[in-house]
Chain A
């Protein structure tokens, strides 16, 4: 039997939900003050996912990097691997907000898109 602790972020109450499991099977969820706490703990235990936001390098832009985001959630455990993958990328200015930067990253089916307009450097 193993115990896990998740701080629910759904509301300012920040319940510290306790989840007990055995071999991946959830046995008990407690200390949550509402249903959302239970849902949150289950999601965090079974498949925690996150939005990834970072930058990629840009050639010829007014800034040397452009911010990007995942268009959807990425498994938490793949975040660092995604960072290494995106470190290799160099985009070309001009870039429009929402432009595709990286397709189907690490076979997650998730796109990485630019999150701002970035003009060409005139000088």
Chain B
């Protein structure tokens, strides 16, 4: 059995930041377990720029952003275990394996979950048809093109307007493939406006909203897909069916937090975020297990993922040194009108830092709204927003003094 202070599962942006923060906040023996042969998680394949605007005040590419953290980790005494897969997990205990060390039986005073997320696949959106080669999720295609140097196809149809799909529309085009169009079942794009403009409009790639794919043809390799417009109930309209010849169908239809390990440790889950319920230190319902980054909820910006990692790392270090004084009754944080979810879902610490940041997503696009914090009927804080959109996460950072008189329940809502 190996005794460590903090074990971080996952060496992507959340895990890197969490390990560094735990170390810097006094945890002595920090282990960072990464499944891949290198650190960085998904970042090494995200070769486009746009990372780090908040943290480094620079527009970095994914690999550059990762490199900064990797270089920092190298300067510390953090133990990095690559090619290492965690097989089992319980409170304070991990079983992992890698080719070099064999089985690792780790006892950790605190564990930080930073496994990230996975892409939704075809069955989850029920596209009928054959199962040929040539159907890829956007992230898989991204890895192939940007890291393996191979082209998954020459003529591409993209379903879903999530950011990775938009980025890949541009990437395929730049590499000489033809992107026939992006089809989005919702009436609003799923990705950031910046990506619609710079990845689609720049290259005259059409975006078809309220459209979906209703059939895939081709027994060995994709030969054709059938697209159709959908009505307000999202049902395909028969008369609008159209066949498009292509060799590749790219899916960018959402991300799901990877929480199989969390469930193994009986961590309470939030059905809306798909991640564990966490408090403002990113601690889960199981004492000493923390969760951060896309494992907790899916982010749009890596900067926020790193921030969450920092919070979790600090929380883990403080958990070990027993610094945290917990409230007898935690504050439950709820989303009110037009709020899909809020993270953290609970506030548990007696005296949290000077600031607390809430991350939230709305259900619907709305202009000119007020984001308000309510404790019962009492207004604690308000902020004006020009517009709120489901794809763009809202960050609400406020000084702790606003929460001084909070009761046991806190509601955040968008008021018209």
Residue ranges of A at the interface with B (Cβ–Cβ < 8 Å): 7, 9, 11-14, 33, 50-51, 53-55, 57, 63-65, 67, 69, 76, 79-80, 83, 97, 115-117
Contact = CB atoms under 8 A, between A and B. Distances in A.
Given A9-B194, A97-B64, A116 B174 contact: no
B49 interface: yes
B166 to A, nearest CB: 12
B193 A55 contact: no
Contacts of A51: 49, 59
Nearest to B148: A64
A65 to B, nearest CB: 4
Interface residues of B, number: 31
B67 A116 contact: yes
Contacts of B145: 55
Q: Classify the secondary structure of B's interface with A.
A: helix
B193 A97 contact: no
Contact of B49 (A11, A12, A69, A79): A69
Interface stretch (B76-84, B132-140, B195-203, B281-289): B195-203
B47 A67 contact: yes
Contacts, number: 74
B387 A116 contact: no
Contacts of A55: 47, 145-146, 149
B203 to A, nearest CB: 9
Nearest to A116: B63
A64 B143 CA distance: 12
Contacts of B392: 12
Interface string B33-53: 000000000001001110000
B387 A67 contact: no
B389 interface: yes
Contact of A117 (B47, B62, B67, B175): B67
Contacts of A76: 202
A54 B146 CA distance: 8
Given A12-B389, A63-B147, A69-B49, A53 B61 contact: yes
Contact of B174 (A54, A57, A117): A54
B67 A80 contact: no
Contacts of B66: 116
A65 B149 contact: yes
A11 B198 contact: no
B386 interface: yes
B201 A63 contact: no
B375 to A, nearest CB: 28
Given A51-B49, A54-B174, A117-B67, A69 B147 contact: no
Given A12-B389, A116-B44, A64 B174 contact: no
Nearest to A44: B197
Contact of A53 (B48, B67, B147, B148): B48
Given A97-B63, A117-B67, A57 B149 contact: yes
Leading 10 A-B pairs by shortest Cβ distance: A116-B63, A67-B47, A65-B149, A64-B149, A9-B194, A14-B193, A115-B61, A115-B63, A51-B49, A12-B392
Contacts of A57: 149
23 contacts: A12-B388, A13-B387, A14-B193, A33-B386, A50-B198, A51-B49, A53-B47, A57-B149, A63-B147, A63-B149, A65-B148, A67-B62, A67-B63, A67-B146, A69-B61, A69-B64, A97-B64, A115-B47, A115-B61, A116-B44, A116-B63, A116-B64, A117-B67
A65 B145 CA distance: 9
Contact of A50 (B47, B176, B202, B386): B202
Nearest to B196: A7
